A and B are shown apart, each in its own frame.
Chain A
Amino acid sequence: MSELNELSLVEAADAVRAGRVSSVELTEACIARIEAVQPTINAFISFEPEAALAEARQRDSEAASGNYRGSLHGVPMAHKDLLYRDGKVVTCGSKVLGDFVADTTATVLVRLEAAGAINLGTLGMAELALGASGRNEHFGHCRNPWNPDHITGGSSSGSGALVAARGAFAAIGTDTGGSVRLPSAICGITGLKPTQTRVSRHGIMPLSYSLDNAGPMARTAADCARMMDVIAGYDDNDPTSSTEPVADYEYGLENAEIKGIRIGVPTSHYYDHATDDVKAALSESLDVLKGLGAEIIEVDMPDHTIYRDLLGVILRGEAGSIHARWFAERPEDYSTEVRARIEAGLYLPAVRYVEAQRLRPVLLKEFLDTVMDKIDVLHAPVMASAVPTLEETDSGVSDDALLVNEQLAYCTRAASFLGLPSLSVPCGFADRGLPVAFQLMGRGFQEATLLKIGHAYQGATDWHTRMPAL
């Protein structure tokens, strides 16, 4: 592996800007790395090295004329295969959409490429973005670069695996119940689920209109901040995107000072299934944050089972509506597990769906008043139980698979249902040699606060620099 692969996104982009490295050199380093690791991790659905090199040559030509597109000029990335690109097949990790050709390009991709990013191809994911393990029966499972017997987490499984394996400097994932945070945590990278509506969803295959979010997955909080500076903000093509002012996320990291920041530690729910390794890693991370001047405060949690259940109602109702026609016409094109998870939505009374939607602001306000009123951010595990093997999540092999899969998103659903931002930050390793991460959950549109704390933590630790020995 080239030393170039070891750079963070910010370091790589700044090196191109300073003329220390060319975009072609970065892209060639990524291509070589991908060719070495793809047989093991199966991160790609469509790998396009020639197209990426052509883009890189174009970026270098622009740079030679002093024309830098933006803060990501010349940096190779790859993204989850549910972001539309005009004229290209977008599979959404499924057979049912296997021949779907997009007639528009996702705003997120348009913005990244306007800032100079290069596209290496499309990445594997759980079928239809539904599945916290990241399993995919149609394209083969992505495998964890730290130990290929284990899951990557999902649904943005290829995004987590590839960035962790140093095959790209960043990736976009999407998160409906934990799908950015889980693969980020389980693969040992940094990932942000933004506030609901903070990032445009135009040109992204929906799973749930009310719960879907696109977010950055990269090596560091600073990388995610730079990505957010590019992708966040209102989009005319997505009228649901927020007009709330966008922070200058990367600027906010300079001289990041977290002295006096109130970090909440939950007294219930989040540690229900925690292993001793996870508890120890999370506790040590709190010690680091305390050492940086943060105030640690224990906070009682409201009932979280209601978030899970109402998220289930909303997700099934919306996903059921999206897939109803294909269920009837092409039922054999769905895996049994995915179909089973969506199917109940076809029989959901409209009144229950609307009640779940109406309860969302009520429960959000309750959470803000009883939890967030006392603190600035909540600190909790992303996944408290041990990372399972692929076999342990296979319902055809393991009787416990249903329970194991259900527990994967135990700690991530609350932020999804409540629409709050959450940053996953690597903070150690568990006994199976797999990464552990904490999440920081904040108030609405407070991504800058999460990134600042994550950046300060990464300035004092080196977990985010650890690389799998592939």
Chain B
Amino acid sequence: MAEMKGALTGADIRKMATEWHGLDLSDLRADQIAAEMNTFNNVTRAAADRLRYDDQPGSFAGVLKKSARSAQ
């Protein structure tokens, strides 16, 4: 999987922590969160290639129900 350009840095996270949530993060913790966020971003972005524009809302519950029917 390709790394996303412009990945978040600890400084970005520290800025968001202060401006969005009124939190004061240490440099170490901000760097850890940035690394975690970049992983989530990359993984989800890559997996999202499987999505279609015509996905229906509530389809998770629908697939679960259909699976019950297929067992009967």
Contact = CB atoms under 8 A, between A and B. Distances in A.
Contacts of A327: 21, 23
Given A343-B33, A346-B17, A449-B71, A352 B23 contact: no
Contacts of B64: 195-197, 364, 419-420, 444-445
Interface in A188-227: 195-197
B3 to A, nearest CB: 15
Contacts of A195: 64
Interface string B21-60: 1110000010011001101110111011011000100011
A446 B21 contact: no
Does more than half of chain A's interface fall in helix, strand or loop, or is it mixed? helix
Interface string A319-341: 00000100110010000000010
Nearest to A445: B68
A242 B51 contact: no
Contact of B60 (A340, A360, A443, A445): A360
14 contacts: A197-B64, A242-B65, A309-B44, A344-B40, A346-B17, A347-B13, A349-B41, A355-B47, A355-B51, A358-B51, A361-B62, A443-B67, A445-B68, A446-B68
B48 A359 contact: yes
Contact of B40 (A197, A343, A348): A348
Given A331-B23, A347-B33, A349-B41, A358 B13 contact: no
Given A331-B23, A443-B71, A365 B63 contact: yes
Contacts of B17: 346-347
Given A347-B33, A446-B68, A324 B21 contact: yes
Contacts, number: 116
Contact of A197 (B59, B61, B67): B61
A352 B44 contact: yes
Contacts of B51: 355, 358-359, 362
A443 B59 CA distance: 16
B19 to A, nearest CB: 11
A316 B22 CA distance: 19
A359 B60 CA distance: 9
Top 5 A-B residue pairs of the complex, sorted by shortest distance between their CB atoms: A444-B64, A445-B68, A443-B67, A361-B60, A444-B67
